[in-house]
A and B are shown apart, each in its own frame.
Chain A
Amino acid sequence: MIPELGHFAVILALGVALLQAFVPLLGWRRRDARLLSFAGSAAQGQFLCVVAAYACLTYAFVTKDFSVAYVAENDHTQLPLIYRITAVWGAHEGSLLLWVTILSGWTLAVSVFNRRLPLDMSALVLSVLGMISTGFYLFILLTSNPFTRLVPAPAEGHDLNPILQDPGLAIHPPMLYMGYVGFSVAFSFAIAALITGRLDAAWARWTRPWTTTAWMFLTMGITLGSWWAYKELGWGGWWFWDPVENASFMPWLAGTALIHSLAVTEKRGLLKSWTVLLAILAFSLSLLGTFLVRSGVLVSVHAFASDPTRGTFMLGFMAVVVGGALTLYAWRAPKLVTTGELRLFSREGLLLFNNVFLVAACAAVLLGTLYPLALDALGLGKISVGPPYFNAVFLPMIAPLFLLVGLAAVVPWKRGDWRETAQRLKWPAAIAIVLAVLLPFALHGRTTLLAATGALFGSWAIFAAAQDVWRRVRAKPDLRSGVSAVPRAVWGMTLAHIGLGIWALGVSGVISFGDEKDVRLSRGAEAELGGYNFRFEEAGNQTGPNYTAQQATVTVERNGKFIATLHPQKRLFPSQGTVLTQSSIDASLMRDLYVSLGEGYDDGSWSLRVYYKPMIRMIWLGGVFMFFGGLLAASDKRYRLARAAERRADEVAAAAVA
C-alpha cells in the first residue's frame, strides 16, 4: 500500500510540476498577476508531493519491504538502520528520487526567499525550475520507477553494495546533488533574464547567493567523495581523473568561474552575456555529468548499472533543456548590451583572466573525458585517457590562477595602481618566497621543484588573502570592532582563497614526499617507510553486523616510540559474496599512515600495503575552508538587508491600504 502511495505521489508531483511550468508562462503572456503568483503555490505543493514519495520509499527500506524490487536489490535484513536509510540513494532509481527531491527543495526555497523579487521574474524562475522537475519526474516514471513491485517477494534482499556501507557515502551523494541541482537555480535566473531582457546589478545580486550556496555544497560533495575514495577503495589515492569524478569537477570549475563573473556583473555591469552563458554551462555540465554517469557511454571505475533506454532519455532531455537554453541565448544575448569599459589591470580585468583560465581548465577536462569517445566515433581506435594527460594539461592551466588569486583581491575595481598593489603585496610575496625555500626542508628535510612551487603558490594565496582582512581589521581601533567591521562576503572570499592555498600545500606535499611499499610480513616482522616502523603483530577473525572479517594488528613506532596501532581488515559480505578491503589509517594534519591488508599465506604471513601520505589531510581541509567561505559569503548581510528593507516597504504599503 505504502509503495503505491509513493508511486501516486510522484505522479501527482509531475502534474503539479507541469502546472508550475506552464501557468506562470501564460500569466507572463497575459500580464496576469494571479497566474504569475500561482508559481509559488505550485512549488510548495510539488515539494509536499515529492517529500511524501521519498518518505514512502524510506519507509519501505526501513521496514525491509522486499516486495518492492528496488528495496529487494539494495536492502538486507541484517543491514544496520542507518544504512537502510542511506540505501535509498544506494542505486540509480533512488538516487534520481533524491535528486528530484532536492530540486524541489531548492524550488521551495526560491519560492520562499524570492518574495522580494519582481513577481514576473520570480514566476519565470519557478517556471523554468518546474520544467526541469517535469523532465526528471518523467525520467523516474518512464524508465526508473523505484516503487515497482516484485512478485513473488523474495525472503531476503540482495543487500546494499558493501562499498557504499560507510558514513562518508551517507552524506557524499546528497551534498553532491545539492550542488549539481543548486546550479539549476542560477540556470533558471539566466533563462528568466534572457526572456525578460532584464539583466542588471539587481539580477546579479539575486543570483549570487544561490550560486554561492550551490557551489559550496558541490565543493563539500567533491571533497567528501575524494576522502571516501581514499579511505574506502584502498588504493591510497585521493583523485583518479575518472570520468565520474570529472563529471562532478567540470560543473565545479564552471560554477567557480560563474561566482567570479557574477561579482563583475553586479559591481560593474560588465560581462553580462558571458555570465548568463556560464550560468547555463554550470547546470548543463551537471546534466552532462548525470548523463555520463548513468548512460554507460564511458568506461569508469564506478560500476553503475547502465541502461540504454535511460541513456537515451537523459540525452533527449539534455538536448531539450540545454539546446533550448542555448537557442534562447543565441537569440537574446546580443541584446544584453554592456555599458562601460573594461581595463585589464583592474579587479574586473583580473577576474576576466580568472574566468579564462577556469573555463580553459574545464574545457581541458571535458576534452580528456570525451576524447576516447570522439576517437572511437571517428574510427581512429580505442584509447583511454589517464592521469598523465590531466596532470600535464590541467596543472599548468590552474597555476596562473594562484598568481591571480592574491592579486585580484587587492586591486580595486575600475582601475588598478601598480605602485599601490606592489606596496600591499610585498609582504605576502616575501613570505611566500621564503616559505617556498624553507617549508619543504622544515617539514620533510628535503625539497623538490614541485614541493617548492606548491609552497610558493599555497603560501602566496594564503598570505595575500589574509593581508586584505588584516588591513581592514587594523584600520579599526581595536580587534573586536575590526573583526566585526569586515563584511561576511570578504571573510568568505578570504577563507575560500586560504582554502585554495592549503589545498595547494597538501597536493604538492603528498605528491612530492608520499611513499608506499608492498611487503610480506610474518608475525613480529617489521617494515620501514617514511621513518616509521610498521610491525605486524597478528591476524585474527572479527565479526561485524553483516560481515565477517580477517583483521591484522599492526603497531607503528618511530625511533622506538609508540605511534599507533592499526587494524586493517578484509571484510567478507556473505549476502553478495563480496570481499572488501577496509584500510586502517592513523591520521594527523601533517601525515597519514595508511595500511591495507592483502593476502594471507599458509605460513601465517600476510602481504600488506603501507603508505606514508604527508599533508594529505590539507587537501580536504582546503575543501572544508572553501565550504565555510561559501557559507559566510552566501549569508552576507547585504543580501538580507535588501530583503528587510523591502519587507518594511511592503508593510508600510499594506498599512496604507488598510
Chain B
Amino acid sequence: MRYAIPLVVLIALIGLFVFGLQRDPRLVPSPLIGKAAPAFDLPTLDGTPPRMTQADLEGAPVLVNFFASWCAGCQEEHPYLMQLTQNSQVKLLGIDYKDAESDLRPWLGRKGNPYGQILTDLEGRAGIDWGVYGVPETFVLNSRGTIIYKQIGPMTPDVWEHEIQPLLKAAS
C-alpha cells in the first residue's frame, strides 16, 4: 500500500495543475470589491465645486478612472473613453494621479476631455487608499457608492461590453 503513496500524490498534483491551467496567476482581485468606496477629499480641476468627497459619488453608477498625462496606458485608452462617454449615459470621473496641472491641461486640450469631472490627486494619497498600483485603473461604483468592479490597465471595448455593462445592468 505504501508503494502507492507517490501515485496518490501525483494525482493530487495533477488535479492542482488542471485547476492552475484555467487561471491567470497574474490576476489579482481587488479586496475593495463589494465594499464602499474609500474616503477621499480632493480638489477639482475646474474649481466648481472646489472639492469633492466619496459622498458625491452616490446616486448613480459611476466609473472612477485613475489616470495621468505621463502614463502610456492612459494615452492608449483615451480615444475609447472619449467614444464611451459620447455614446452612452455613463458618468466618468477622472482622478489625475501624481500629475502636474501644467502637464494635464495641454494634454486634455490636445486629446479632448471625456471626464464629467476631474479631481487632482497630486500626492497620490487617494491612490494609496484605493489600492492603485499603476495607472490606468478604473473602478466601477453602483449608485450606493459600492465598488463592483476594478479594471487594471487600459479600458477596452471587450471589458466594457462583457464585464462592466452586464454588472451595471444587474445593479440597476
Contacts and interface: CB of A to CB of B under 8 A. Distances in A.
Contacts of A330: 3-4, 6-7
A402 B58 CA distance: 65
Contacts of A382: 28-29
B21 A295 contact: yes
B152 to A, nearest CB: 13
A297 B10 contact: no
Interface string A188-216: 00000000000000000000000000000
A15 to B, nearest CB: 29
A297 B17 contact: yes
A618 B14 CA distance: 39
A248 B11 CA distance: 22
B23 A297 contact: yes
B59 interface: no
B20 interface: yes
Nearest to B29: A382
Nearest to B15: A377
B10 A323 contact: yes
B19 A377 contact: yes
B109 interface: no
B169 interface: no
B162 interface: no
Interface residues on A, range: 20 to 34
A297 B3 contact: no
B170 interface: no
A326 B5 CA distance: 9
Nearest to A382: B28
Contacts, number: 65
Contact of A329 (B6, B14, B23, B29): B6
Contact of A315 (B21, B25, B26, B28): B21
B18 interface: yes
Contacts of B18: 315
A311 B21 CA distance: 7
B89 to A, nearest CB: 35
Given A319-B14, A322-B10, A373-B16, A334 B3 contact: yes
A277 B3 CA distance: 9
Interface of B: 3-4, 6-7, 10-11, 13-14, 16-21, 23, 25-26, 28-29
Given A312-B21, A329-B6, A330-B3, 10 more contacts: A295-B21, A296-B25, A298-B20, A319-B14, A322-B10, A323-B7, A323-B11, A329-B3, A376-B23, A377-B20
20 contacts: A273-B3, A277-B6, A281-B6, A291-B17, A295-B20, A297-B21, A297-B25, A299-B25, A312-B21, A315-B14, A315-B17, A315-B21, A322-B10, A323-B11, A326-B7, A326-B10, A373-B25, A376-B20, A377-B20, A382-B28
